[in-house]
C-alpha cells in the first residue's frame, strides 16, 4: 500500500502560496489537497477553478480536489479543465452519486467519495467497486483547524475491513485535525492518504512536511 501526504492549502499563507507549495513538494508530499466550499453544503466559502489553474502550473503534485459543494456534478468538468487529478464528492451532497461518479470517470479523473462524521460507513459499501478512494472526515467539514474526532478511528477500521473483504484497490483518505502526534493512530486504523492543513502550513511547512513524511515512510 502507498502512503501519501496531501497538504491542505486551506491553511496556507496565500500571500506566499507558490513558495509554500514548493516547500511541501520538495519534502515529498505527492498530493496537494484543494478544499472547495460553496457556502451551502458547508457554511464557509473558499476558492475555486482560477486558483487551481494557477497552482497546477506551479507544481507537479497531484491535485486532490475535495468538493464540499451541493450537487458537485455541476462542476466536475470545470475542475477537470482547471487541473484536477482526483475529484472527491460528498455522498451527502449528491442527488445521484452513481451518475456523479460516472461523470468524474468520464473526465478521466480518479473519483473519491467522502462521508461526514455522522454518516454511517456502510453507506459507501455499494460504491466501493466503482471508486478509487473514500475520504473519511475526522472533523465536520467547513473549516480548518478543528479538533480530530476520535470516533473516526473506528470508522477507518470498519472501512478498511470492508475494503479488504472485497479486495478492492480503494485508498482511505482521512481529513481534519491530523498532526504528527496523532497520525500514527490514523495510519494504524487503516488510512493511507493523510490530509493535513494546519499541521503542515502553520509554522515551518518544510519541517512539518518532513516530520509527516518520516512517519509515512516508516509504514511502507
Ligand X SMILES: O=C(CO)[C@@H](O)[C@H](O)COP(=O)(O)O
Catalytic status, residue 188: no
**Sheet containing 193-196: which strands, arranged edge to edge?**
4-7, 193-196, 171-175, 133-137, 110-115, 86-90, 62-68, 31-37
167: left (phi over 0), alpha (psi -120 to 50) or beta: left
The CA distance from 159 to 169, in Å, is 12
Residue nearest to ligand X (CB): 197
145: annotated binding-site residue?
yes
Catalytic status, residue 13: no
Minimum distance between the CB of residue 64 and ligand X, rounded to whole angstroms?
10
Judged by the rule CB under 6 A, the positions of this chain that interact with ligand X are 8, 10-11, 33, 35, 66, 139, 141-146, 175-178, 195-199
Residue 159 or residue 196: which is nearer to ligand X going by CB? 196
52 phi and psi angles, rounded to 5 deg: -60, -40
Angle between helices 17-26 and 205-217 (to 10 degrees): 30
176: annotated binding-site residue?
yes
Minimum distance between the CB of residue 167 and ligand X, rounded to whole angstroms?
29
38: annotated binding-site residue?
no
177: annotated binding-site residue?
yes
Those residues whose C-beta lies under 8 Å from the C-beta of residue 88, and which sit 6 or more positions away, are 64, 65, 66, 67, 111, 112, 113, 114, 133, 135, 173
Catalytic-labelled residue, pool 13, 35, 64, 171: 35
Q: How would you classify the pairing of strands 86-90 and 4-7? A: unpaired
Minimum distance between the CB of residue 135 and ligand X, rounded to whole angstroms?
9
CB atoms within 10 A of CB 200: 33
Residue 116 or residue 124: which is nearer to ligand X going by CB? 116
Catalytic-labelled residue, pool 38, 64, 171, 175: 175
Minimum distance between the CB of residue 8 and ligand X, rounded to whole angstroms?
4
39: annotated binding-site residue?
no
Residue 82 or residue 178: which is nearer to ligand X going by CB? 178
Angle (CA) 85-123-130 rounded to 5° is 40
Residues annotated within a binding site:
8, 33, 35, 66, 142-145, 175-177, 197-198
Residues annotated within a binding site for substrate:
8, 66, 142-145, 175-177, 197-198
Residue positions annotated with a catalytic role: 35, 175
Residues annotated within a binding site for a divalent metal cation:
33, 35, 66, 175
Amino acid at each position: 500500500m502507498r502512503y501519501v501526504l496531501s497538504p491542505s492549502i486551506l491553511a496556507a499563507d496565500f500571500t506566499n502560496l507558490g513558495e509554500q507549495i514548493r516547500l511541501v513538494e520538495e519534502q515529498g508530499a505527492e498530493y496537494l489537497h484543494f478544499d472547495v466550499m460553496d457556502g451551502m453544503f458547508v457554511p464557509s466559502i473558499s476558492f475555486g477553478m482560477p486558483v487551481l489553474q494557477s497552482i497546477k502550473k506551479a507544481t507537479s503534485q497531484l491535485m486532490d480536489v475535495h468538493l464540499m459543494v451541493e450537487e458537485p456534478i455541476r462542476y466536475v468538468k470545470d475542475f477537470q479543465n482547471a487541473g484536477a487529478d482526483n475529484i472527491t464528492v460528498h455522498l451527502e451532497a449528491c442527488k445521484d452519486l452513481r451518475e456523479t461518479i460516472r461523470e468524474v470517470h468520464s473526465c478521466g479523473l480518479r473519483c473519491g467519495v467522502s462521508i461526514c462524521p455522522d454518516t454511517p460507513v456502510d453507506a459507501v459499501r455499494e460504491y466501493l467497486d466503482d471508486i478509487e478512494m473514500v475520504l473519511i472526515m475526522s472533523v465536520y467539514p467547513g473549516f480548518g483547524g478543528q479538533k480530530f474526532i476520535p470516533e473516526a478511528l473506528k470508522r477507518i477500521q470498519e472501512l478498511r475491513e470492508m475494503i479488504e473483504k472485497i479486495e478492492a484497490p480503494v485508498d482511505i483518505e482521512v481529513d481534519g485535525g491530523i498532526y504528527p502526534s496523532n497520525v500514527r493512530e490514523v495510519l494504524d486504523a487503516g488510512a493511507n492518504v493523510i490530509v493535513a492543513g494546519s499541521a503542515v502550513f502553520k509554522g515551518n511547512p518544510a519541517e512539518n512536511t518532513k516530520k509527516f513524511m518520516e512517519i509515512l515512510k516508516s509504514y511502507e
